[in-house]
């Protein structure tokens, strides 16, 4: 997770990342536990371990500053992410990657079905072009106009 800092960070000792599942929140309803933190006033990145529970959820996030005395600011949700995981999580490789990205779709810029569509358009264009060029009688007698 990354965030942008606006204003002075002279009082900031660390940043806490607060999040909760399924319910968005305002500054007044901010989650009381913010377990993930990163030290430093200018730190703007934190890596959070992906959950392993099955289901479909929306997680809501915010990053709030804390001073050296333990005083923490309040902030409503800044962002959210949708989480989907099958009930079968026996595959040990499931924890690799980024939430929301899957195999070929994440790494390829052109979907596989698009190549078939492109090939079909090329074949149709070739057939239509051959038909247009074959419209003359080829014997030179009628002198047909080529009006296309």
> Residue 122 — very low, low, confident or very high, per pLDDT cuts 50/70/90?
very high
Q: What is the dihedral of CA 29, 32, 36, 38, to 10 degrees?
A: 80
Q: Are residues 63 and 92 in the same domain?
A: yes
| Averaged pLDDT score across all residues of the chain | 77
Q: Are residues 81 and 120 in the same domain?
A: no
Which residues lie below 8 Å from residue 1, measured CB to CB, with a gap of 6+?
17, 45, 46, 47, 48, 61, 63, 79
Query: Residue 141 burial (CB < 10 Å; 0-12/13-18/19+)?
Result: exposed
Q: Are residues 31 and 70 in the same domain?
A: yes
Q: Are residues 34 and 89 in the same domain?
A: yes
Structural domain contains residue 126: yes
> Residue 1 — very low, low, confident or very high, per pLDDT cuts 50/70/90?
confident
In b/e form, how buried is each residue of 108-128, taking b as 16+ CB within 10 angstroms? Answer: eeeeeeeeeeeeeeeeeeeee
Structure tokens at 85: 């995981």
Q: Are residues 113 and 60 in the same domain?
A: no
Structural domain contains residue 3: no
Please state the rounded mean pLDDT for residues 72-84: 85
User: Based on the structure, what is the number of domains in the chain?
Assistant: 2
Please state the rounded mean pLDDT for residues 41-61: 82
Q: Are residues 96 and 23 in the same domain?
A: yes
Q: Are residues 45 and 91 in the same domain?
A: yes
**What is the pLDDT, as a whole number, of residue 68?**
87
Structural domain contains residue 90: yes
> Taking the model in full, what pTM does it have?
0.50
Please state the rounded mean pLDDT for residues 43-49: 81
Q: Are residues 85 and 124 in the same domain?
A: no
**What is the pLDDT, as a whole number, of residue 17?**
86
CA 88 to chain centre: 23
**Taking 90 as the threshold, does the pLDDT of residue 123 lie above it?**
yes
Q: Lowest mean pLDDT of 35-39, 55-59, 81-85, name the range.
A: 35-39
Structural domain contains residue 5: no
**What is the pLDDT, as a whole number, of residue 138?**
57
Structural domain contains residue 77: yes
Structural domain contains residue 89: yes
Structural domain contains residue 6: no
Q: Are residues 60 and 79 in the same domain?
A: yes
> Residue 71 — very low, low, confident or very high, per pLDDT cuts 50/70/90?
confident
Range of the domain at 119: 108-135
């Amino acid at each position: 997770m990354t965030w942008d800092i606006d204003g002075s960070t002279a009082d900031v000792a660390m940043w806490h990342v607060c999040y909760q599942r399924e319910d968005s929140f305002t500054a007044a309803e901010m989650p009381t536990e913010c377990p993930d933190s990163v030290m430093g006033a200018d730190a703007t990145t934190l890596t959070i371990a992906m959950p392993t529970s099955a289901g479909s959820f929306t997680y809501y996030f915010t990053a709030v500053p804390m001073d050296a005395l333990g005083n923490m600011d309040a902030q409503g949700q800044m962002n959210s992410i949708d989480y989907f995981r099958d009930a079968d999580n026996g595959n040990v490789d499931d924890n690799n990657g980024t939430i929301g990205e899957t195999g070929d779709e994440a790494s390829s810029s052109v979907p596989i079905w698009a190549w078939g569509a492109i090939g079909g358009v090329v074949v149709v264009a070739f057939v239509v072009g051959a038909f247009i060029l074959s419209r003359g009688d080829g014997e030179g007698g009628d002198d047909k106009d080529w009006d296309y």
